[in-house]
Amino acid sequence: MSNQPEERYEDSLLYRIRHSAAHVMAQAVLEFYPETKYTIGPPVENGFYYDFDLPQPLVLEDLEKIEKRMRQIIAGGHPFVKKVVSAEEARQVFKGQPYKLELIDGLEKGGLDEYGNPLAEKPEISLYQSDTFTDLCRGPHLETTRQINPSAIKLMSIAGAYWRGDEHNKMLTRIYGTAWRTPDELKNYLKMLEEAKARDHRKLGKELEIFTYDEEVGPGLPLWLPRGGVIIEELERLAKEMEEKAGYLRVRTPHLAKEDLFLHSGHLPYYAESMYPPMEIEGVKYYVKPMNCPMHHKIYGSKPRSYRDLPIRLAEYGTCYRYEKSGELFGLMRVRSMQMNDAHIYCAEEQFEQEFMAVIDLYKKYFDLFDIEKFVMRLSLHNKEGLGKKYVDNERLWLKTEDMVRNAMTNGKVPFVEATNEAAFYGPKVDVQIWSAIGKEFTLATNQVDFAQPGRFNLAFMNKEGVEETPLCIHRAPLSTHERMIGFLLEHYAGNFPVWLSPEHVRVIPITDPQNEYAENIVRQLRDQGIRAGADVGAQRMNAKIRAAQLMKVPYMLVVGENEAQAGQVSLRVRDGSRADNIPLAEFIARAKDRISTRSSKF
C-alpha cells in the first residue's frame, strides 16, 4: 500500500499559522492603504503571500511598518470566526472589492477556484473575520491571532504578480512573508536562505563558467560554456553506461517534424500552448519537437515485432524545445531548450511491473551516486472531471494502469504518495521529488505509463498465440534534462563537484617560471591518463594561483617547485584542505584515476 505522509501540509499547524498570518498582514496593509483592492493570500511552502492592487507602489522599507503593525494585531488575540453565506450576502460584504466579486461569481456559477480552475464539486461560500478584517476564505485558521508567535514572523520581499497568473491581467503587488512556530525555527530558516543564496545555480553557473545566456540568442536558451560541456559529457557517459548494461538501444531523431506527427500523437490538442508556433515550408507545417516520444514510436513501428523482441528500450539524449512563458523562466530550472535523458520502453503487459521497477531501481542508483538522501516518489493520477479535456478519454484504462503502477510500487516495497489530477495526458506517472544537501526541494524526473499512444500509432507485436497485441509504453527520464540536473547539482554540491564530475580535475601550479616546463610535462602525462588537467603558467605569484584554483573549485592542485622538479614529485593540495608534500607523480595519478573511474565522492 502507499506510504502517505503522517500529516498533509494543508492540515498542519504551520499551514494554519501562515494562513492566519496572511490575513493579519492584509489587515495591516488595508489600514495603511484603505483604497487597496485585495485578492488572495494563501500559505505556500515555507511561508505565505498576499496579492494587492495598491494605490501606490511599495518599497522594502514599507514592510517594516507593516510587520510592526502585524505584531500589534497579533497581540490583540482576535478570534478567527467562520461564517457560511450565500453568494448575494458575500457580494454585499465585498461590494467595493472587484477581485473578490469575480471570485464569488466563479464559486457560484462554475465552481471555480481562485485561479479559475474547475473544482470537483461546488463549494460553500465562507468568510473568515478577525478584528476589522474579513476575507473570502475556505480556511483553515487558528483560533485567535495570539497563537501566531510575533517573534517568528517576517515579511520577506515585494514582487509583481498578474491576477490569476495571467499575463493579460493587471499586474498586482505581491508581499511575501514567512511564519514559524518558534523564533529558532525562523532563525534556522533565514540561515538556510542565506546558504541557498550562496548556492544559487545561477550565481555559481556564472562564477564557475558553466553556462550563460545572451539576449540575441533568446531567453530560456542556455549556452553551455566549455566547463559546462564537460559536465554534460560526463552525465551522458554515465547514462549511456548504465543504460547499455540495462539493455537500452540508442537512437537519434531530428529536431523538427511535420504537423501531422503531433496531430497523430495527440500532443497538439493537449500541448499546443507549450509548443513553438509552426514554420511553413512548401505548404507543409513543421514544428520543433517538444518531446521525443512520437519519433520513438515511429522507430518502433518501422518493422514488424514479435513477443520475442520485447521489451524494446529506445534511449536518446534528444534536444527538445518548449515555449515556457517569459515570467516562468528560471535559470536552468525552467528553460525553452532542453537536452533530455529520454527513453521509451515497449513491453507486453506481463512485463510491465519488472520494467517499471527497473526504472525505479535506476533512480535509486543515481540517488546513491549523487548523495541524494531525501526523495519522494509521487504517483500522479488522473481526475475523472478532466477526461476528454486534460486527459485521454478512457476511464477504464486509466483505472487499470493506475492500479498496475500502484501494485508495482507496493510489491517493490517502494514508499510513495498519491496526487490526483497530476498525471500526463496519456497515462499515470511517478514523479520524483528530491531534496538537495540544504533541504531545497526539486522536481527532478518522471516515470510515465502510456496506454494511449501505442494504439494511436498502431504499434503492435505478435504474441505467443500468433495474435497481434498492442504494447504498453513507459516514458522515463531518470536524469531529467541536462539543464535541470546540472542546476540541481550546482546547488546540491555548492559547486564542489565530486572529482569525476568536476570540469577540471587537476591544476598544476609552478612556484616560479623555471618550473613551467615541468608543469606542462605533468599536464601531458595526466591527459594521457584521461585526467582533465591544465597548468597555470601565468605571471601571478603561487598563492594567487592557488586562490584562483580554489575559486574555480578545482579538486586537486599540484604545486611544483625546484625540489619537486628535480625529484619527479608533486606537492598535492586538495580542495577539502588536506595536503601531501613531495609525493611521486605516479602515486597521485593512481589515486586520481581510481576516484574518477569509480565515480567516488572521496578525494
The predicted structure's pLDDT at residue 218: 95
The predicted structure's pLDDT at residue 4: 43
pLDDT band at 2 (very low <50, low <70, confident <90, very high): very low
The three three-digit cell numbers of residue 157, written as one number: 520581499
The predicted structure's pLDDT at residue 3: 41
**421 or 86, which is more confident:** 86
For 97-118, the pLDDT digits (tens) are 999 999 999 888 766 666 556 6
Query: Average pLDDT of 120-124?
Result: 70
For 544-570, the pLDDT digits (tens) are 999 999 999 999 999 999 999 999 999
For 520-539, the pLDDT digits (tens) are 999 999 999 999 999 999 99
CA 288 to chain centre: 23
Q: Which of 366-380, 497-511, 581-595 has the lowest mean pLDDT?
A: 366-380
- Between the CA atoms of 443, 446, 451 and 452, what dihedral angle is there, to the nearest 10 degrees? 60
For 479-523, the pLDDT digits (tens) are 999 999 999 999 999 999 999 999 999 999 999 999 999 999 999
Half-sphere exposure of 116 (CA within 13 A, CB side): 7
Asked whether residue 120 carries a pLDDT value surpassing 80, the answer given is no
Asked whether residue 6 carries a pLDDT value surpassing 60, the answer given is no
Asked whether residue 122 carries a pLDDT value surpassing 80, the answer given is no
Q: Which of 230-234, 299-303, 425-429, 524-528 has the lowest mean pLDDT?
A: 425-429
The predicted structure's pLDDT at residue 1: 36
Main-chain dihedrals φ then ψ at residue 47, nearest 5 degrees: 175, -145
Query: Average pLDDT of 251-273?
Result: 90
Asked whether residue 194 carries a pLDDT value surpassing 50, the answer given is yes
Q: What is the DSSP letter of 430?
A: E
Could you tell me which residues come within 8 angstroms of residue 515 by beta carbon, excluding any fewer than 6 positions away? 560, 561, 562, 564, 565
Measured CA to CA, the distance from residue 602 to residue 371 in angstroms comes to 12
For 206-217, the pLDDT digits (tens) are 999 999 999 999
The predicted structure's pLDDT at residue 121: 64
Asked whether residue 190 carries a pLDDT value surpassing 60, the answer given is yes
The predicted structure's pLDDT at residue 117: 62
Asked whether residue 369 carries a pLDDT value surpassing 60, the answer given is yes
Query: Average pLDDT of 570-580?
Result: 95
Kindly state the helix (H) or strand (E) to which residue 201 belongs, with its residue range: helix 201-207
Q: Which residue has the cell 505565505?
A: 48
Main-chain dihedrals φ then ψ at residue 328, nearest 5 degrees: -100, -10
Measured CA to CA, the distance from residue 293 to residue 472 in angstroms comes to 13
Strands (E), 111-193: 125-130, 133-136, 153-162, 171-179
Q: What distance separates the 2 farthest-apart alpha carbons in the chain?
A: 92
Average pLDDT, the chain: 92
Q: Which residue has the cell 531548450?
A: 337
Asked whether residue 439 carries a pLDDT value surpassing 90, the answer given is no
pLDDT band at 56 (very low <50, low <70, confident <90, very high): very high
The predicted structure's pLDDT at residue 113: 63
Asked whether residue 119 carries a pLDDT value surpassing 80, the answer given is no
pLDDT band at 358 (very low <50, low <70, confident <90, very high): very high
Residue 65: helix, strand or coil by DSSP? helix
Q: Which of 48-57, 437-446, 469-478, 533-542 has the lowest mean pLDDT?
A: 437-446
Q: Is the full-model pTM beyond 0.85?
A: no
Asked whether residue 165 carries a pLDDT value surpassing 90, the answer given is no
Surface-to-core class of residue 278, CB atoms within 10 Å of its CB (0-12 exposed, 13-18 middle, 19+ buried) = middle
User: Which domains are seen in the chain, by residue range?
Assistant: 9-182 (3.30.980.10), 207-368+443-493 (3.30.930.10), 499-597 (3.40.50.800)
